[in-house]
Amino acid sequence: MRGVRSSYGHEEQDAQTYADWGVDFLKYDWCSASQVYKGDEMQAAYRKMHDAIQRTGRPMVYSLCQYGLEAVWQWGASVGGNMWRTADDIGGDGYARVMVFGFGQDGLQKYAGPGHWNDLDILQIGIGKLDADEEKTQMRLWCILAAPLLAGNDLTHMSPTTLALLTNADVIAVDQDSAGVQGHRVWNEGPLEIWVKPLADGSKVVAVFNRGQSELPVTVRFADVGARGPARIRDLWEGKDLGTFANGFATSVHKHGAVMLKVTEGN
């Protein structure tokens, strides 16, 4: 770091240093950049560092950290970004902020795809701000949104429960699906929301969220999620096949909880 200016005027030098160090991921932060750049120079500034990285010959994941300013989702990919922050720092403020960040992504799915992603900031799992259901909810929500999964906890000191939450293979596979589609909201009623993410194999992942203050029943109607019955249902979090259903699937969702289902058409 060079005071508030950081890489300003030293983009080539810094990019080559990162390459020499074997860096795979560069998060390029806009902190204090307004002291040296005008607001309409943001895109050019990010492009300049991208071009410097390219000239090193070392591939790096290029993360634009500018807190959703200037509608970055509309131009992030065009300046070489592989991911860009769509909102402010998530901090450690608990469930309410996680939900604002997560559910605020609806409508941005058209800007995400293989190689360029909307970034909702780090996971709050294992840092003590969310209860057990809320932690599972964040993991499910980030994965159905195809968001980058960046752990925010101390990886050297975590419980087996936290490790299991962060390494659930079936849920991570939703985030990492090769089709690269970001999920979107298809239904809501009061505190209940249903989101859908189509997968490369033709199946769909459906996540049901309960933002309310008590456990609530909900029925996932296949017509609402773009599927035709009969369809096989698998609970991805529990790793259990639940059977084949004709027109929909009834379940209940804990307060601040979520259910994530894989819906595959056919018997």
Q: Are residues 49 and 118 in the same domain?
A: yes
Q: Which pLDDT band holds residue 8 (cuts at 50, 70, 90)?
A: confident
Q: Are residues 141 and 67 in the same domain?
A: yes
What would the pLDDT profile of 89-98 be if each residue is shown by its tens digit?
998 779 999 9
Q: Which pLDDT band holds residue 217 (cuts at 50, 70, 90)?
A: very high
Is the CA virtual torsion 131, 139, 71, 56 positive or negative?
positive
Q: Which pLDDT band holds residue 169 (cuts at 50, 70, 90)?
A: very high
| 93 catalytic residue (yes or no) | no
Q: Are residues 155 and 228 in the same domain?
A: no
How many domains, in total, are found in the chain?
A: 2
Q: Are residues 119 and 209 in the same domain?
A: no
- Looking at residue 91, its pLDDT comes to 84
Q: Of 241, 240, 205, give the one whose Cα is nearest residue 226.
A: 205
Q: Are residues 245 and 157 in the same domain?
A: no
| Residue pair 182/146 in contact by the 8 Å Cβ criterion | yes
Residue 77 CA to residue 47 CA, distance in Å, equals 10
Asked if residue 5 has pLDDT above 60, the reply is no
Q: Are residues 140 and 10 in the same domain?
A: yes
Q: Can you spell out the DSSP letters for the chain?
A: --GGGTTTT-HHHHHHHHHHHT--EEEEE-TTGGGTS-GGGHHHHHHHHHHHHHHHT---EEEEESTTGGGGGGTTGGGT-SEEE-SS--TT--HHHHHHHHHTTTT-GGG-BTTBEEE---B-TTTTSS-HHHHHHHHHHHHHTT----B-S-TTS--HHHHHHHT-HHHHHHHT-TT-PPPEEEEEETTEEEEEEE-TTS-EEEEEEE-SSS-EEEEEEGGGGT--SSEEEEETTTTEEEEEESSEEEEEE-TT-EEEEEEEE--
Q: What token pair was written down for 234?
A: 């698998």
- Looking at residue 1, its pLDDT comes to 33
Angle (nearest 5°) at CA 240 between 238 and 241: 150
Q: Are residues 27 and 63 in the same domain?
A: yes
Q: Are residues 167 and 223 in the same domain?
A: no
Mean pLDDT of the chain: 94
Output the domain CATH number for residue 110: 3.20.20.70
Residue 101 CA to residue 115 CA, distance in Å, equals 21
Q: Are residues 126 and 258 in the same domain?
A: no
| Residue pair 186/120 in contact by the 8 Å Cβ criterion | no
| Last residue of one domain, picked from the residues 175, 202, 233 | 175
Q: Are residues 169 and 200 in the same domain?
A: no
Find the mean pLDDT for residues 161-165.
Answer: 96
% of the chain exceeding 90 in pLDDT: 89
| Last residue of one domain, picked from the residues 175, 202, 226 | 175
| 170 catalytic residue (yes or no) | no
**Where in the sequence is the domain holding 237, given as residue range(s)?**
184-265
| Last residue of one domain, picked from the residues 175, 194, 227 | 175
| Residue pair 27/45 in contact by the 8 Å Cβ criterion | no
| Residue pair 133/256 in contact by the 8 Å Cβ criterion | yes
Q: Which entry of 20, 88, 89, 154 is annotated as an active-site residue?
A: 89
Q: Are residues 19 and 117 in the same domain?
A: yes
Q: Which pLDDT band holds residue 3 (cuts at 50, 70, 90)?
A: very low
Q: Tell if the pTM clears 0.85, that is, is over it.
A: yes
Q: Are residues 32 and 153 in the same domain?
A: yes
